Amino acid sequence: MATATGLTIVKRFNYRGDPNEEYSNSYWFTPTTPPADDTAWRALLDAVVLVEKTIYPASCQVIRAYGYNDDTGHKPGDEGAVAGAVYNVDLRVAPNTPVAGTLATGGIELAPGDAAVWERWKTSRRTSPGSKPIYIRKYFHPALGNGTDADLVATAQKNALNALGAKLDDGSLPGGRKITVAGRSDVILSHGCSNFMTTRTLKRRGRRP
């Protein structure tokens, strides 16, 4: 068992006429010692969602989450068995409620569902060969344009992305946690977001363990 703290947050939004299309973002954190109980897991989830929800409008909602205390099978290049979740919550089941995004669209039309925005964190690691910086990158739907250029991301959405970028690296999450990737304890050098929309085609996936 490789002790770790991983959190997957599942969202639903309107995609090609389906209001229940899902996508998710998974975060891994240092320190790797996992939360002690469900209350601590929920505190970590709520702290991340509090900032993450500012990236997307009310039409996108957080509906489920999973917590992992073992990164086996989750690391890049891992094959075989995948460690299952030790914490899960369905926000559609009372007394919970889905958490809606808070990004104001200001009347600007949302981009097509496959359009996405991203935030990335530059790590101290570099590729070998090539010595190029290695980034942690997270994508979010739906994307919101700036109203004048179909490719440019709205300033409000960029600000929200960078707020998440800072939050996940400033040590203010419960337990002083900071973003990393499964199997590593990354040092983050900087963070930044996309100026232009990108395409991230959604794929339906099976149930999480």
Q: What is the pLDDT of residues 21-60, one digit of tens each?
A: 999 999 999 999 999 999 999 999 999 999 999 999 999 9
- Residue 1 confidence (pLDDT) above 70: no
- Domain with 90, as residue range(s), is 3-199
Distance CA 11, CA 89 (A): 13
Answer yes or no: is 207 within a domain.
no
Answer yes or no: is 30 within a domain.
yes
Do 62 and 49 form a contact (C-beta atoms < 8 A)?
yes
Residue 2's pLDDT is 74
Q: What is the pLDDT of residues 92-119, one digit of tens each?
A: 999 999 999 999 988 787 888 899 999 9
Which pTM was predicted? 0.93
Answer yes or no: is 204 within a domain.
no
Residue 209's pLDDT is 47
Residue 160's pLDDT is 98
Q: What is the pLDDT of residues 156-170, one digit of tens each?
A: 999 999 999 999 999
Instruction: List % helix, strand, coil for the chain (3-state, nearest 5).
Output: 15, 40, 45
Sequence-ordered alpha helix ranges (H) in the chain:
38-52, 155-167
Answer yes or no: is 208 within a domain.
no
Answer yes or no: is 167 within a domain.
yes
CA 84 to chain CA mean position, Å? 19
Residue 91's pLDDT is 98
Closest of 96, 107, 106 to residue 61, by C-alpha: 96
